[in-house]
Structures are given as structure tokens and as C-alpha cells.
Amino acid sequence: MALLDCENLRKSFFGVEVLHGVSFSLDRGRVLGLVGENGSGKSTTMNILGGVLRRDGGRIRLDGADYEPRGPKDALARGIAFIHQELNLFENLSIEENLFITGFPRLGAAIPFINRGRMRRRARELLEQVDIRHPPGTPVGQLSQGERQLVEIAKALSVDARVIIFDEPTTSLTRREADRLFGIIERLRGRGIAMIYISHVLGDVTRICDDITVLRDGAVVGGGPVAQMPTERMISLMVGRTLDQLFPERTATPTDTPVLEVRGVSQPGVVHEIDFTLHAGEVLGIAGLMGAGRSELARILFGLDSFKTGTIAVDGVAIEAPSPSVCMDRGMAFLTEDRRGEGLMMHATIADNIALASLDEYASPWTRFVERTRLGDEVGRIGQKVRMRAADPMATLVRHLSGGNQQKVVLAKWLLREPKVFILDEPTRGIDVGAKFEIYKIIDTLVADGAGVLMISSEMEELIGLCDRILVMNHGEIQAEFRRGDFDSGRILEAAMRRRGTEAAAAPAAAMREAV
Amino acid sequence: MNATRLRLVLLRNAPVALFIVVLAVFGSLSDRFLDAQNFTNILIQASHIAILGIGMTFVLLTAGIDLSVGAVMYLSVALLGIYLADVPPLLAVPAMMAAGALFGLVNAFFIVRLRVAAFIVTLATLFIGRGLALWVTETRMVFYKDHILSLARAEWLGVPWAIWVFAIVFAAAWLVLNHTPFGRQVYAVGENPDAAAKAGINVPLVLTAVYAVSGACAGIAGFVSITQVGAAASSFAMEKEFAAVAAAVLGGVSLFGGRGGVAGTVFGAVLIQTVQNGLVIVNADPYIYPLVTSSIIFLAVFVDSQRSRILERLGRRRIRIEERPV
């Protein structure tokens, strides 16, 4: 008998059914990969399991008994732990306090004080199980993202979780940290803990899961042991058609007109002698491992961070004192890798977000008031251009949108300014396959209209599928350049991991994300 | 240790350095300043602000603010003078704490249940509290009987009574914040209320409790203050809420929640009082008191922001090691 058995789960929001009878089961010591596009019902299903939402129909049996959680705390008490994409940790508290925040060991039943000694001993045991070597009293704020994830797992172990749900656990991890996480998952599997693993990174799913269940539009559309579910099959089930191409046909070819010229840009400790030219109509990719200096370069180019030597020129004219506003005036646009934190006002409407970078252009020359009708029309036009799917851009809040639609909002915001140079930092991170394709199409339209796109990505296939040229960064330097036609993922990877001097090439071969 | 790290160490200990400078300056200006009796006086004078600040610290730790505490002080001493004039202090103080806590619960009702911003709610209840106190006292000055006034000079084991109260409140608050589940949950809620709720912490309960604690502390502060002042005019405890916030901020409590503690607040309150005491002893023009005090608060906050900036710079990732450091 399966440990967890979900049968015919149904859920409606405001009278609209979003889960139409989802069924799956999970055995002890197995890892179930749950894949599907955003909005396919993965989160809703997991929120029901984790006690965040209540189901409208169907039944769940946990270890043979009916399972009806009244809330997250109740779910946890029954042994189901949900590790959310945004971690629930308190940076100002120590690791041990985070582990026991809702169930501190006390000095006695009637004594309200925390038993620090017992807490420390219990914390040590738990941290050992997830290979964290920091003392339990270390503030969580000092841990890396990967270590924080492991603390969350230790927290689940502290309540003897039988089922652990991971929701996109690797989005903010380096490859090495992700590998460490997978090692722990492996170990937990050996101890008989059942896990549900949600991710868009299908390479990871294939690597660590035993079984796969594919969701589409609130229903299970396929599944089975991982051996019978190659990546292509997962994708075709997810999108409901065979994707004969993951990337759109490029409609334009690069011109010889330079739009962005970077000459000898260096900043000690960050980047060294960066030299390249971006042309109108060109998509120029920057490949590299995490920490190669790609995002840092992007920030320097957009005037967010300073640099010591070198010049940056747009349209042949050097930018004297770079700052974001100067760079914007000169026709640059920058999509940050942290869409939620830096790219969007999550609690504002779609329209307000799109208008943000262009308010000056739409101010009346006399009163300096924003001309709302003119702006509104333009926002509507741009929204159509990026194929925004939202009922009412003036009323819908950005935080209610899927990752793909949020990224479209950011793109629309910049499109409104009609820039010549786009710097895109991981534009498709955490976005499902269908929405990725649409982002690619938007990028293609941008360059067809004569802009130049500098695209940073950790997904090799994406760079190879979309770019005209690829620069490889490593150690804050450009190591290699590849032109369309002789793209070779092996050689690109080799350049990305090449080490200088005495340092051994110790980076694991899986260091590059092999995602869809 | 390189220059940046050295600066960091200096900046981290800046409040202590500031304190030493204050001692040195006033000590050299007057030989009465560096005197044990004077320090006792400073502690007595600082006690009501420190107690008020301790309560405020609970609220600030949850990223809230309680501007009504001065009004609660006045209201609680008004109740004491009018209704509890003959009650022994051992019963009167708990009654004043209860009245303050009740007032805090009213604040909490609007802030937690009706989700009105704490700043707005407590700004309103500041005026409501003062209004109620004026109504209770019929706008007249309230005088107190000898069994209360005599406490100003009362001692136990050679230590003045006000310092005992101060010490007990501090010890209790420190224990609660650092060594009880509730205290740690206060820090958790202040750091990230959403995560706290998801982790299963009863966030509304924690928030409600901190405003009750703040109100109760204001009740105690009112009592300690009235034993020293002797009479409550309509301006009693006016603007004390700002002194309490200043003490907490000077002691390193963040207005954004989750950072700091009561030890810092007590330090801040004592530092402010030391400066004021020093100014009195050197016969400074009373009109410059606020200027000096506010400059010191500004300096401390400025130093703290400098420290955060350096920390942020140190935390920035290095991608490559340069052969020759520039």
C-alpha cells in the first residue's frame, strides 16, 4: 500500500475549477517528480497536501488513514513538510532557533524558559543529517542559500516528516549547492522518506526522481517511472503538443552597425579587460558558471556599479558618467535576474509597473502631471505586443501573475522606452516551457526592429538556440567567443570551466545547467 | 587586520566610545560628575525612560511603534491619584500595569484586527489617552500622598527603590526576549511576518502581546516617574514616547523589526540621561539641552548607517583575485 494516495482531487477558485480530479500516489523511499507549466495545478495540489488550501473534492489517504489537514501546522504534525520556494527562515535568529521556532524544548512543562542545552543537542543531531557543519548558534543570515535550504530540510526532519515536498528548490542555488542538495535527497530516500519534487529544470527531475507525474490544465496527463519518461516526452505532455522546435525561427540577421561598444572595462576584484561589440539586430549571449561575473558585468554596463578603467559607448558615443538614468536616456534597458525583488513592484498593477520607467516621457510639458490617457493607450499597445494575458492591466496586481507573465511585464516596461540595447539577465529563469517560447519570440522581434540584445543565461541550450554569437565568461574575463554555426556545448562548457594557473579544474562536469 | 575591518570594529563599538567621550568631557568640566552618588542619580533619573523604552523595544522588534506610551503614563498616574490614592504601592502598581496593558490591547485591536497602521492608531490613542486623563483629573493638577512620595528616597539594601524596579523590569524583559519561546517568536515575527505565519506562529497573538507589554511598561514607568515628580500636571510625561524610541534606536534597535534588544535600549536611555545630567552639572544653558541630546542621537544613528554600508561592501562577492591589490 502506498504511503500517500491522492484520489480525484478537485479544487475551485471563485467558481472556476482549477483541479479536475488529480490522482497520484507515492511510496516510501521514492521521489516523485511533479512537472507541468505554470498554472497547470502543481502549486494548488501541493498547497492542498501541505494544508495551505482545502480541497473541494476527492480523498487523500496517508498511511491508510484519511488525511484532512486543517492548516500547515496540522499537515506538519501528520508528517507532511512543505519546503516553499521562498524559504521560511528568520535571518536574525540562529539555526537552532529556526529549527524549533514553533516547538522550543522547555526547561519543564510549567516553566516557560527554553532549554538551550537540549535544543543545541537536538540541533546538532539534525544538522549532522544534512551535512551542515556550522555551530547551531550561527545566525541564519550568515549561511548561503544552499545551506539555508538544508536548514529547511533539517526542520522537516525535526518533526519526523514522512513526506517532504520541494517546490523549485534549486532556483537560487549554485550548481554545487544543488548537487549537495541532491546528495541529501538521496540519503533521505535511503531512510524511507517519500519526497515530491517540483521543478522546471527537467534535467534535475530526470536525475533525482524515481517517478514522474505530468500535470496540464489541472489534470494528470501522463506519468510513469523516470526511465519511460525522457525529457522530450515530458515536454510534449506538458505543452500538449509535440514541440518540434523549442526556439522560434530567427527572422533577422545581425547588421554591422555597432550599438554597444565595450572597450577594456575593468573593475578590480570583479571584471577584467572586458572587450566586445554588440550590433544592431544581434542577440549576443554570455555563457558562464554561477559567479563568473556575468551579472556583475551587466550591472556595470547599466551604471549600477562603478568600474575603474575602460569605456562604454552607445551608438558610437561614450557614456561619461554612467548611472541607470543616464544609461536609460542613452537607450539602454536592463532586466535584472531578480525579477521579483528588483524588477517589479509586486503589489502594484500591471499598468503601473509598465509605466514606471517612462513616467517622464508621459508628463505634460506644462504641469508635469502624468497624462494618464496617453500613457494608458500606450501601455495597452505594448501589452498586446508582448501578448500579455491578463483581464485588466489597470486592476490586476503583478503578484497574481505567473512567472512568465511577470517577465512580460518587465519586458513591456522597457519596450515602452524603445531602447536600442537590451541587457537581459536570466530572462527565462523559473518560467515554464510555453512562456519561454514567447519570451524568445519577443527577443526575436526586438532585434528584428533593430535593437541589440545582450543575453546572460545559465541554460546552454537557450543560448545555442537563440544567439548569433556567444561570449564565455570565467573569472571575470571573457574567455572565448563562438559564432552561430560553430556552437558546441562541450567547448563552451570547457571555456566556462577553464581555470588559470595552479588552480585545478575541479568544477564538476555537471556544473552547467542542462535545462530544457 | 586591514583598515576597513578596523573601522568596522570602531564603528561597532561607537555607542560605547560615545559614552566614554561623554564621561571624559563632563568629568573634566566638573569634579562632581564622576561621583558614585551622581551615577546613582543618573540611573534613578533614567529609570522611567528605560522602562518605557523596554516596553517600546518589544513593539519595535515586531516592526511596529507605540506612540501612545507617554499618554498611558499620564493616564495611569491620573487613575492612581484619583481612584487609588490610598492603595498601597504593591497593589497600585499592578493596577496601573493592568490599565496600561488594557490600553495596549485597544491599540492592538485596531492594529492587528482592523489592520490600521500602528503609527496612525497610536498617534490617535496618544490624544485619546491624554484626553481621558484630563477628563479623569478634571484638568486639575493631581497631588500624591506621602506613602508614594516617600518612595523617592526609599532604599532597600542600600539601593534606591527606583533602581530596583528598573533592574527587575530589565531582567524580566531580557529573560522573556532571549529565553522564552514567546521572546524568540517576537524576533521571528519582526523579521518576516509571512514566514512566521507559515511556520505556524500565532502572529496576531504575538503582535497583540507586544502592545500589551508596552502599555504595562508605561504603567510602571508612570509610577516610577510620579514618585520623583510628586505631582501630575497636564503636561506630565509629554513627549516621553519619543525619548523611549530614541533610547531604543540609540541602543541599536531597528525600526524595521527583528534587530536589537533591551540591553541596548537600557544603554541608550542611560546615555541620554548621562548627557542631560552632565549638562545640568556644568550649568549649561537649558536651551541647548535638546540640541546636544539630539546631536548625540543623530551621531549614533549616523554611525550605525555607516556600519551597515561597510558591512554591505564587505559582503559583496569577489569574483577574481587580482594579482596586485589596487
pLDDT tens column, B111-162: 999 999 999 999 999 999 999 999 999 888 888 888 888 887 888 888 899 9
Start-to-end C-alpha separation, chain A: 34
Chain B residues touching A268 at Cβ < 8 A: 322, 325-326
- Residue A238: its pLDDT value, please? 79
A22, A196 Cβ separation under 8 angstroms = no
- Residue B252: its pLDDT value, please? 85
Q: How far is the C-alpha of A101 from the C-alpha of A90, rounded, in Å?
A: 9
Closest B-chain CA to A96: B184
The whole-number average pLDDT for the span B196-218 is: 93
Cβ-based neighbour number of residue B294 at 10 Å: 12
Contact A90 B192 (CB under 8 A): yes
Closest A-chain CA to B319: A270
What domains can you pick out in chain A, each with its CATH number?
A: 4-239 (3.40.50.300), 259-331+420-516 (3.40.50.300), 341-418 (no CATH)
- Residue A501: its pLDDT value, please? 37
Residue showing cell 493592568: B98
Contact B184 A291 (CB under 8 A): no
The whole-number average pLDDT for the span B232-241 is: 89
- Select from A97, A292, A475 the Cβ nearest to the Cβ of B184: A97
Contacts of residue A104, defined as CB under 8 A and 6 or more positions apart, other chains included, come to A114, A115, A119, B181, B184
- Shortest distance between the Cα of A167 and any Cα of chain B, in A, equals 15
Contact B190 A92 (CB under 8 A): yes
All residue ranges of chain A with pLDDT < 70 are 38-39, 241-245, 390-391, 498-516
* Cα A395 from chain centre: 26
- Range list of H helices, A244-338: 294-301, 324-329
Contact A113 B179 (CB under 8 A): yes
- For A43-179, list the strands marked E by DSSP: 57-62, 65-66, 80-83, 106-108, 111-114, 163-167
Joined together, the cell numbers standing for residue A483 give: 559564432
Which secondary structure element, helix H or strand E, spans residue A414, and what is its range? helix A403-415
Query: Strand, helix or coil at B144?
Result: coil
A70 exposure class (CB count in 10 Å sphere: 0-12, 13-18, 19+): exposed
What domains can you pick out in chain B, each with its CATH number?
A: 35-299 (1.10.3470)
- Residue A515: its pLDDT value, please? 36
A201 exposure class (CB count in 10 Å sphere: 0-12, 13-18, 19+): buried
pLDDT-above-70 percentage for chain B: 94
B251, B264 Cβ separation under 8 angstroms = yes
Query: Strand, helix or coil at A481?
Result: strand
pLDDT tens column, B47-57: 999 999 999 99
Contact A102 B201 (CB under 8 A): yes
Cβ-based neighbour number of residue A500 at 10 Å: 10
Give the Å distances, CA to CA, from B98 to A25, A144, B95. Answer: 55, 45, 5
How do A219-225 and A211-216 pair as beta strands? antiparallel
- Residue A514: its pLDDT value, please? 38
Contact B181 A106 (CB under 8 A): yes
Q: How does the average pLDDT of chain B come out, rounded?
A: 88
A167, A201 Cβ separation under 8 angstroms = no
- Residue B34: its pLDDT value, please? 84
The full DSSP string for A334-392 is: EE-S-IIIII--TTSBHHHHHHGGGGGGGB-TTT--B-HHHHHHHHHHHHHHTT---S-
Chain A residues touching B175 at Cβ < 8 A: 113
Q: Could you tell me if A69 lies within 8 Å of chain B, comparing CB atoms?
A: no
Q: Could you tell me if A325 lies within 8 Å of chain B, comparing CB atoms?
A: no
Q: What is the DSSP letter of A31?
A: E
A269, A263 Cβ separation under 8 angstroms = no
Chain B residues touching A112 at Cβ < 8 A: 180-182
Return the higher-pLDDT residue of A144 and B184: B184
**For an interface test with A, which of B60, B319, B324 has the most A Cβ atoms less than 10 Å from its Cβ?**
B319
Give the Å distances, CA to CA, from B54 to A366, A373, B60, B130. Answer: 52, 52, 10, 21
**For an interface test with B, which of A47, A53, A83, A88 has the most B Cβ atoms less than 10 Å from its Cβ?**
A88
- Residue A209: its pLDDT value, please? 94
Chain B residues touching A269 at Cβ < 8 A: 318-322
pLDDT tens column, B89-109: 889 999 999 999 999 999 999
- Residue B147: its pLDDT value, please? 85
Return the higher-pLDDT residue of B208 and A337: B208
- Residue A362: its pLDDT value, please? 82
